[in-house]
Amino acid sequence: MKTNGKIDEAKMLEDIREILQLSIEDFVYQMGWPNSKYYDYIKNGRKRPGETEKKKTHPTINKVFTGINEAIDNYENWKEKSSEITAVVMVHLMPSV
């Protein structure tokens, strides 16, 4: 999925995490990520400590959406909030012009 750089992944993930009321550790675990490094990397503007420019490297937007889908498939709290999560994703995919 080409995003042309307009999706604020960090804000989208934070909005979803807020809906679920999960700690960062539980949130990334339920998304199937091995640890919070992906989350921290996205929240840090896709910069690693000491880097000055944004890079489009792992995790890709596909990894973000795959994690969301896997969590909805595997965790009841995500299933129960799936409509709210979908609404958040749509707001970030299709921001008002």
- Tens-place pLDDT, residues 51-88: 555 555 545 778 889 999 999 999 999 999 999 999 99
Give the number of other Cβ atoms within 10 Å of residue 5's Cβ.
8
Domain boundaries defined on the chain:
9-93
Length of the chain: 97
pLDDT at res. 68: 94
Tokens of 85: 């999560």
Using the CB atoms, write b or e for 55-90: b if 16+ within 10 Å.
eeeebeeeebeebbeebbeebeebeebeeebeebbe
Phi, psi of 17 (to 5 degrees): -60, -35
- Tens-place pLDDT, residues 24-49: 889 989 998 877 777 776 766 655 55
Q: Which residue has the higher pLDDT, 71 or 50?
A: 71
